[in-house]
Amino acid sequence: MIGKLNHVGVATPSIEASVALYRDMLGATSITEKRAMPEQGVWVAFVNLPNSQIELIEPYGEASPIHGFLKKNPAGGQHHVCFEVEDIIAARDEMRAKGATVLGTGEPRIGAHGTPVIFVHPKDMGGVLVELMETPKGAH
């Protein structure tokens, strides 16, 4: 069912500090501008790699879902992995049919790539928070 690994989500207390790390330590040359996603409670920036992306996420606002993670991991850390799927509704229904918990209302939200996403609870995925994202149209 899953397709490409679209990105790995990395939570950070400072996108600027993380951008400097990926640029100066690892030599990343293509990194997007930081932008706010208020509905998701995060700032995001993407480190573009030849085969995937690192999604840097920093809390935006008091209600950000990232605060709890950073409380446990003050320096930041690997937060989620995102796989592409052809049909987000079919993927959600299949995950539920297999007994997994889809976070929130279960209604897909528009993610940072402009396509609908859902999150599957880490307790159902061996401790890994999994984001499923509908493949952008025209991407393949």
Query: Catalytic pick from 55, 84, 131, 134?
Result: 131
Question: For residues 97 and 105, which CB has a smaller minimum distance to Co ion in the complex?
Answer: 105
CB of 83 to Co ion, least distance (A): 10
For residue 56, CA distances in Å to 15, 33, 35, 72, 140 come to 6, 11, 11, 17, 24
Q: Is 76 left (phi over 0), alpha (psi -120 to 50) or beta?
A: left
Question: For residues 8 and 99, which CB has a smaller minimum distance to Co ion in the complex?
Answer: 8
Cβ atoms within 10 Å, residue 72: 7
For residue 71, CA distances in Å to 9, 13, 16, 59, 121 come to 17, 10, 19, 11, 19
| 58 makes contact with Co ion (CB under 5 A) | no
CB of 93 to Co ion, least distance (A): 21
For 25, the token pair is 């330590």
Interface with Co ion (CB under 5 A), residue total 4
> Binder to Co ion among 45, 66, 82, 130 (CB under 5 A)?
82
CB of 119 to Co ion, least distance (A): 9
Mind telling me the catalytic residues? 131
Which parts of this chain interact with Co ion (CB under 5 A)?
Answer: 9, 55, 82, 131
